[in-house]
Amino acid sequence: MKVCIAEKPSVARDIAQLLGAAQRRDGYYEGNGYQVTWTFGHFCTLKEPHDYSEHWKYWRLEDLPILPAGFGIKLIDNAGVLKQFSIIEQLVQQCEEVINCGDAGQEGELIQRWVLLKARCTAPVKRLWISSLTDESIRNGFAALRESAQFDNLYAAGSARAIGDWLLGMNATRLFTKKFAIGKTVLSIGRVQTPTLAMIVQRQKEINAFVQEDYWELKTIYRETEFTASIDRLKSLEKANRGLAYLQEHPFEIVSFERKEGKEGNPRLFDLTALQVEANKRYAYSADDTLKYIQSLYEKKMVTYPRVDTTYLSEDLHPKIAGILQDMTPYKALIAPLLQQPIPKLKTVFDDKKVTDHHAIIPTGVYPSGLSQEEKRIYDLVARRFIAAFYPECRIANTTVLGKVGQVPFKATGKQILEPGWKEVYANDTTQKKEGEEEEKILPVFEAGESGPHTPRVHQGRTSPPKPFTEATLLRAMETAGKQVDDEEMRELLKDNGIGRPSTRANIIETLFRRKYIEKRKKNIFATQTGMDLIDTIQSELLKSPELTGQWERKLRLIEKGEYAMDTFKEELTQMVTELVTEVKTAGYKVISIAPEAPPEPEKPAKAPKAKPAPVPTDITSLSCPKCKTHLLKKGNTAYGCANYQVCGFKLPFEVLGKKLTDKQVADLITKGKTSKIKGLELPGGGEAAQARLVLNAGFEVEAEL
């Protein structure tokens, strides 16, 4: 019997169907010589300090640094995880071969390897490695299964990343909390989180220190064209008025007229970060939400694997492009011109050297149906970008006109689109207008030496402060380790030194929001006083520098390529943590009061307190499904649902009978099967109960009990 382990129940169901494993068992499918089971997220995690030594349970400066001789893993303490793991463990210990069908990326490899390690798997392991979940892709993947050993470096990089984050996070958080925090405050420090916060704080300080100033510019109208004086901005109205008087005494003269034709290159295909940036600009979607939407589209077989950091396709995909385009029937009118001739094999699209495990995000050709408004928008972004990549370049003409009034130089510029090329793909899409994008401006033809009357004026303006980060600009800054880069080629070169991975950046940003180190006002991100105080407390540049963190990221990518040793990386981090602890222990930094986040562990054992009722969990997803004991997930903005929803079907809406449920009421329903009495419930038939309980009935549905 061969055991296939997928990353979630829905994928397992699709694989089982294709393999002919039609019999539904408890926690797996079976048939045709296969057993197909699944995980749902992380089943294992690195052991905590107290798992290695009892005295590491308590937060004491004298015990730092915490440096285990070796790192072990343990199962997450969750009823659904424990149950499903026991099924996997039993299956893999009795099979002839395991096929790892996990998510085809670093995190997916780590999740599955840890499960197999914990299950003491001794059977040979093969790897299913696919870039989309279409039936064709899955069939082709099973026809060309790879040896698990081919992905040992990927697993090593994932392990090194997890261990590195553990070493720095555990030690630095305890170190700074015990050294600088007041009361029960926790100062959370992270390898990627802290330099990201430092960038936001630095921008915040620049904004706070900015002093707005008035300035004046000289402008004039000549032949219905506005020209601006090519001189430094004037600092006083008096100087501006003197300049205006001078201009009024002299005619306008054209010095030169230059018109250059050029091209605007096609937009690159999407990697995950570019898609998150674009979705934030167009629709103000958070990076985390965009990742959820594109992941959903991937699981619905409509796009290829999304957690990628390349904007290129592998060269062997070129013959398939026409077929994918032809299947994209909603975009038939846009695609028709492309199919009239062979698809060009552009170097800006196809390059094996720029593709590692996966290629850029593109549509699969599966018809997009049954999508939410948000998913439709994200699919449309991907689809139009894919189509635009194969259109002709946009031909433009840039015009520069230089003039003078007396001795004062003037300049005007214009831009004309000669042939729209790829811009036709966005011609009727108003959402595609980029922020700050230059409008088409056609200038008349001027002759050098011509002269005539003009209408000068003084324009008053005010200097602008640095722009706060949006999620779009923050993602770009993380991608380039804080460097401001607009050029696509340069951005590609800097990706290896970016902070975090494309798949983790959204979570880092959400973590900063959750810990109240940053906040959002409209689309802009600002550091809170708590976040600023935390960064001011951290004197070590090692922890705050985006460039240094980027160098660590580059080493992790080299581990993935087999060009750097995992043990060397761990040794370097161990040395860095040791030096950091020594430095901070002996430092006399000023203590800064920071708003409490969560109480740290006790410094020493205390007497056992009297039994108290279990606290209501702040994260409902830590609870288990009352129906099948699998863990719960947050389903968009409407409900909690079982992670095994496709099979189990349990769902609990945020709002029931006209009342939005509190966390305690949700927890009571899940753990006790009923809430305490609630006022104002809207009963069926239009009545309103003065007081009623909500209960889970035998069918695990919510109803009112008077």
- DSSP readout, 569-599? HHHHHHHHHHHHHHHHHT--PPP------SP
Output the six-digit token pair for 293: 């939407």
Pick the catalytic residue: 155, 305, 379, 426?
Answer: 305
216 Cβ contact list (under 8 Å, min separation 6): 233, 234, 235, 236, 237, 239, 240, 458, 459, 460, 461
Distance between CA atoms of residues 127 and 112, nearest Å: 11
- Amino acid identity of residue 376, one-letter, is K
| Calpha distance 81→91 (Å, rounded) | 15
Where in the chain are the domains? 2-144, 182-208+468-585, 214-266+394-443+452-462, 272-388, 620-705
Q: Tell me the percentage of the chain whose pLDDT exceeds 70.
A: 88
Provide the pLDDT for residue 609: 43
Q: What is the pLDDT of residue 684?
A: 54
pTM listed for this prediction: 0.76
Q: Is 369 exposed, middle or buried (0-12, 13-18, 19+ CB in 10 A)?
A: exposed
Distance CA 193, CA 543 (A): 9
pLDDT tens string 635-647: 666 788 776 665 5
Domains 182-208+468-585 and 272-388 fall in the same CATH topology:
no
Tokens, residue 341 = 């001739």
- Average pLDDT of 93-106? 93
Q: How many angstroms separate the CA atoms of 627 and 111, rounded?
A: 25
Q: Which residues pair with 521 in a beta bridge?
A: 524
With beta carbons less than 8 A apart as the criterion, state whether 3 and 93 touch. Answer: no
Angstrom distance (rounded) from CA 185 to CA 193: 18
Mean pLDDT (whole number) for 9-15: 92
DSSP 8-state class, residue 407: T
Kindly report which listed range (152-166, 240-254, 611-625) carries the lowest average pLDDT score. Answer: 611-625
Pairwise pLDDT comparison (376 vs 641), residue with the higher score? 376
Tell me if 226 sits within 8 A of 421, measured CB to CB: no
Look at residue 72 in the predicted model and tell me its pLDDT.
Answer: 94
Over residues 254-280, mean pLDDT: 94
User: Could you tell me the two tokens for 170?
Assistant: 């555990």
Structure tokens at 612: 């108290």
What's the Cα-to-Cα distance from 307 to each of 9, 13, 218, 494, rounded to whole Å? 20, 22, 50, 18
Which top CATH class is 272-388? mainly alpha
Fold adopted by 2-144: Rossmann fold (3.40.50)
Classify domain 214-266+394-443+452-462 by CATH number.
Answer: 2.70.20.10
Query: Any catalytic annotation for residue 305?
Result: yes
Classify domain 182-208+468-585 at the CATH class level: mainly alpha
Q: Are 265 and 395 in contact (CB under 8 A)?
A: no
**Both structure tokens of 448:** 């050098």
- Crossing angle for the helix pair 471-479 and 193-209, nearest 10 degrees? 120
* d(C-alpha 481, C-alpha 616), whole Å: 39
pLDDT at 608: 41
